[in-house]
Structure formats: C-alpha cells, structure tokens
Amino acid sequence: METTSDKEIAGRRISELRGDLHAHNHLYYNKNQPVISDKAFDLLLKELEALELAYPEFNDPLSPTMRPGGIAQDGFDKAKHSTPMLSLSNTYDAHEVEEWMSRVDKGLEGEDVVYVMELKYDGVAISLVYEKGRLMKAITRGDGETGEDITANVKTIRTIPLLMQQPAPENLEIRGEIFYPFEDFKALNELREEEGEAQFANPRNTAAGSLKLLDSKEVAKRKLDCMMYGVISKGVSDTHSEAVSSAGDWGFKVPSEKLKMISTSTDSKGVMAFISYWDIARHELPFAIDGVVIKVDRYDQQEILGLTSKSPRWAISFKFETERVRTQLKKITFQVGRTGAVTPVANLEPVLLGGTTVKRASLHNADQIERLGLRSNDYVFVEKGGEIIPKVVGVDESARAVAVDLFTQSESVFPTHCLECGTALIREEGEVVHYCPNAASCPPQVKGRIKHFISRKAMNIDGLGSETVTQLVEAGLVIDPGSLYTLTSEDLLPLDRMAEKSVQKLLLGIEASKHIPFERVLFGLGIRYVGETVAKKLARSLESLDAIMNTNREDLIEVDEIGERIADSILAFFAEESNKSFIHRLKDAGLQFAVQEVEGATDKLAGAAVVVSGVFEKHDRTGIKKLIEQHGGKVSSSISKKTSYIVAGEKMGPSKREKAEKLGVPIISEEEFLDKISG
C-alpha cells in the first residue's frame, strides 16, 4: 500500500519543481540569463510531468507543464474590468507635449514633477489578474469596461508569469501589451509560405488574431510576447517607475533601463530627448512601437490630476509619423505562387523609404485593390509601418488626370484569367485569395513546385539553383520533380551557363538526393498545408507513402497535428492524376518512400538546437548536420537565445561569433561535439 509519506514527498517535490521551473522560465525569457542548460530544464520538466501523472491529486492548471495549451474552447466568456481600461490622449506634435506638461504643472500647483517616459508598444492591451501570486484571469480591453476572458491563450505566453516570483504582493492587477516580435512574425510567415498558406500582413493584427484562436494549442505555436506597462493595484509603491522595476522582480517582462526603453526626467528637455532618440532608434527594435508614452511618475500626483471622460490627465502619448512617401504606380503585376495563389504586386517608380529604395509593394488581394480604387499610373502613398513589407495605403486622387482615369479604368481590375497560362481563376467562397487551378501546367506553379522540391529543407539538391530550374522548365526538359531523375548530360550541356563541370555537379547532386530521408521527400512533394513539421509527423506515424496514400480521412485525422483541412488537402493531392504520375516516377528513380531505421541513432542530443558554422576537419558541414539529426538534435540556421550551442570549425564568421558571445551561446569545437555523441 502507498503510504501517506510517499505522497507527501511527491507533493513537496512537485511544488519545488514548479517553483524552480517558473524561476528558470523567467530567467530565460525575461532576463535573458539562463542559469541552467535547456537540457537540464527539460529534465526537470520531464520529472515534473512524470510526478503529475502519478499523483493527479496535485494537478494545477498553472503548472509549468501547462504552457503548451489545453483543449479547444467554443468561445470566450465576458469579464468585467476592476477599473476601466482607458485610452491615452495622442499627439503628433512635440509642442503639444510641452503644453501638456504645463497643464500638469498648473494642476499640481507648482509641485516638483518627475515624468517617466516609456515606449508605446504596438500590440493588444491585456489585463492580468493575480490572486495569491497566481494568474487567475487575462482579459482583453474590449470596450474598456468589459472584455473577453482569454486566460487559456495568454497562459501560453512565456514572458507572462503563471506564478509570480516571490516576494510579490498577494493580489495584483497588471496591464501590458501583447505583441508579435518581428523575427517570430517573419518565421511564422515563412512557415505559412512553406505550407502554401496566405501570408499575414502585419504583426499587430496577427497578434490580435492569434489571441482570438479558440484552440490554445495553436496559440502556443505563435511566438507572442508581452511587455507590462502598468500596475493597477494600489499601495505597492509610490511611483510608476518603482512599480515597473518591481514587476521585473515579480517575473514580468519590463522595459530595459540599460537600453533606455524607460527613463525619467523633470523637464521638457529630457522628455524631448527621449522622443528624438526613439524616433530614430525604433527602427532597430525587435518589435513595433508607434510612439512613446509620457506619464507623471508619482501616484499621488496622478490621483490629483485625475481623468477626463476617457483618458487620464497624467499621461499623454506622442505618436511617431509612419514614414509615408508618394510615388507613381507603374503597373500592377500578378504573381502566381506554387500553390496557384495569385498575389497582386504594385510596381512603383523607385522611391526612398525608411532608408531603403522601394520598387514594389504588396497589394495583398483583390479586395485591397478595390478598397484603394487603384488605377494604372496613379500617384500612391506608400508606408512602411509595423509591416516589414511596404504597402500602398492610398491614392493621391488630386493628381489623377480625368483622361488617364477613363483610359485605364479597366486595366487595374483583377484579371479573370491567369496571366501566365490563361486558365480562368477561381475564388472560393469566403476566401480572399484568387487561385489558378491549372496546377499541372501553369509555368510559375510548375517552377514553384520544383523549386520547393529541391529546396534546402526538402531534397537540398547541390548544384541546382532557382535560375537553372527556370531554364530547365522553359526548355521543356522538366515538367515535375519526377523528370529531374531522367536528366542526362546530353540534355544539360546545350543549356546556357552549363559546362561539363556544372553538369557533373548537378547530376551528382540529383543522384545523392536519393538518400534523403522519407520525411523530407514527403515535405518536398509540396502538398498544401504539409510543412516540415506535419511531414515529419505523418512520416513517423504512417511510415511509408503507400500507407499514407491508402489511409482514409478518419485515420489521417487521428495523426497528431492533422486536422480536417490538412487531411482533405492530402486526399486531394493524391487523387490528382498528374501527382500520381510523377510520384510513380520518383519511386522508380529510387527515392526514399518509407522511413528507414538509421543505424547508430540515439537521442543524446534530444531537445538541443544546434547551429553549425565554419569548415571542419573530420566531417563536412552536411556530415555534422546529419550527425546532429541522427542523435535527435535539431539543426538551426541562425543563432538566437534558443540556440543550445554552436559547433564551430575554422573560418566561423566574426559576426556569428559576436552574436553568440552577446547571447551567451556556448561555442564548441568539432572534437568536443564528437565527444558528446560518442560512447
């Protein structure tokens, strides 16, 4: 029989592990100063998972094991705010900030005033309610009085503590801004592109959309972040700046003083200096801001100043002008992607914007063109705001000549037929994107699929670049990935820039790709919504292409990560005759169509994210990467704070070294790496 003391010991260990993991999480995500390795963290997490499984009586929805999200919800409950979530009065004019400061002075009858300056984060406001140090509720702004309870989703954000670090006040309400960092936003779009999905336009809207997803597991995959900007509870400190600094100790992400993201001043000179500094420096930040916020630091003075009907008198925001330029629209072209999605692109008279020359801007889709009322030769306004890609935000109608207007009216309308192959475009109900359905022979789709097939993460064929693919397709030598494997040197030699040596390299590269593991072949096929991760899951659970092709819808949905939409896309792909035909030829060519047990595979590097850089003695770079994967590690291409270590050979670039040192990522030699995986 189990004794009480066993249970007691387990209970104690569980709470100890939870406390430690919460603290490590804070050190890693908010302080950027991990004190244990990722592997050690994973071991603690695994120990906790095992104990929680064995002793479900200690279950806690705020355990560090609960970050990956729970079961999907039907909708969100309404929740009332303890105190209204107000907005700020805005200005674009520095003089008005000085006028506001004079009003503050007057309101406080000449008392000394300290102003605190912060960034105005461009995201989604959130209110976080803690009881006994535990996150109880996360509520959106809503109408300011009542918002939606999105706690399940917010719990997945690692920079928000589930349990505050001690010593913290028992009950507390924190307000902050949830946003999508640029780098993660870019990665999300890259992943979507890989999966053949439409791109998201900007980080703010994507953050807002992510928070409204009903399945918190999906939210956990979005790398949202949160910066706190307010402590609502009274009595924790006398000033806002102290409260922010304490919040940093309690486990929240707070603006860095060192990076001048928060500062104080007693006069307008200091305030103006902060504004001018960030007007330039904002371009270097890893996330979007749209201005700075200036607040009266002392709470008692804030109280004296009070509120107007919708915003406090003790704060003002100075908004930066989004950089906007005027230029001429030369023409609208329509790009057809590998999945047939048609994206309109504005081709512009080149113009300088935010330090770079802009020649093209995204128009997203037909609705957007319609909203703008765009016509050829229009003068347009282009902005680069929170977005990474510049966009056309308006038309200078005053510059539009009537004659031009009439003459070009029909030109700007979205085409009814694919400009590449003439097939009638389709737009499915409820979708904003037009598609060219001629997957089999629309040239950009054919080229796109082959480029995807040979790409680094798929077949990684050496000696075959994007330009060569274009040449091969245009010469009629390649119509699908299958035809790559029947190419001969006689086919290739007559092509431009193809000498004996490059032909040999290309043919060897194609030959070598026959050893690429099945999961990457599967990813390379370019099935819509089947990105790298889904391909891995599919390959590992069904083990061969035959099995995948013979599995019905219900059984496909049973596979982890695969829902109805992906299952339908897989079924549609294999139902298509032209796909069956090239897959057949790939099989004949001898590609890997089933998983193979790798000899000598271990999980010694499980959980490790490793960057490989430089030239090595015993192995080539690909060999080192293979070893990492063979031992359960993950190869990543760029250094971030999530990198476990870098295996560095000779000639590792100085910028990489610098970045690694800055982030405190360990650098190990080939020798040390081989030691890790041997024995």
Cα–Cα distance, 268 to 115 (Å, whole number)? 9
Stretch that binds ligand IVH, among 118-126, 319-327, 517-525, 533-541 (CB under 6 A): 118-126
Smallest gap from Cβ 310 to ligand IVH, in A, equals 9
Beta carbons within 10 angstroms of residue 651's beta carbon: 8
Q: Is 86 in the site for ligand IVH (CB under 6 A)?
A: yes
Provide the mask over 33-72, with x wherever binding to ligand IVH is found by CB under 6 A and - wherever it is not. ----------------------------------------
Smallest gap from Cβ 125 to ligand IVH, in A, equals 3
CB nearer to ligand IVH: pick between 120 and 452 = 120
Q: First vs last Cα of the chain: how many Å apart?
A: 41
Q: Is 312 in the site for ligand IVH (CB under 6 A)?
A: yes
Q: Report the SS3 class of residue 358.
A: strand
CB nearer to ligand IVH: pick between 120 and 447 = 120
Q: Is 287 in the site for ligand IVH (CB under 6 A)?
A: no
Judged by CB under 6 A, the number of residues near ligand IVH is 14
DSSP 487: -
User: Which residues are CB-contacts of 116 (< 8 A; sequence separation ≥ 6)?
Assistant: 239, 240, 241, 262, 263, 264, 294, 295, 296, 297
CA distances from residue 235 to 101, 129, 298, 299, 631 in whole angstroms, order as listed: 26, 16, 12, 9, 54
Q: Is 293 in the site for ligand IVH (CB under 6 A)?
A: yes
120 catalytic, yes or no? yes
Q: Is 521 in the site for ligand IVH (CB under 6 A)?
A: no
| Of positions 52, 148, 173, 177, contacts ligand IVH by CB under 6 A | 177
Smallest gap from Cβ 277 to ligand IVH, in A, equals 16
Smallest gap from Cβ 8 to ligand IVH, in A, equals 45
DSSP 330: E
Cα–Cα distance, 457 to 451 (Å, whole number)? 11
Q: Is 425 in the site for ligand IVH (CB under 6 A)?
A: no
| Coarse DSSP helix, strand, coil percentages of the chain, rounded to the nearest 5 percent | 40, 20, 40
| Of positions 315, 382, 527, 542, contacts ligand IVH by CB under 6 A | 315
CB nearer to ligand IVH: pick between 124 and 454 = 124
Stretch that binds ligand IVH, among 54-62, 115-123, 324-332, 652-660 (CB under 6 A): 115-123
CB nearer to ligand IVH: pick between 87 and 596 = 87
Tokens 């599919």 sit on residue: 538
| Of positions 41, 76, 121, 299, contacts ligand IVH by CB under 6 A | 121
Q: Is 125 in the site for ligand IVH (CB under 6 A)?
A: yes
Beta carbons within 10 angstroms of residue 666's beta carbon: 12
**Catalytic one of 39, 120, 217, 625:** 120
CA distances from residue 31 to 26, 87, 249, 543, 603 in whole angstroms, order as listed: 7, 29, 10, 42, 30
Cα–Cα distance, 469 to 337 (Å, whole number)? 15
- Which positions touch ligand IVH (CB under 6 A)? 86-88, 118, 120-121, 125, 141, 177, 229-230, 293, 312, 315
Catalytic residues: 120
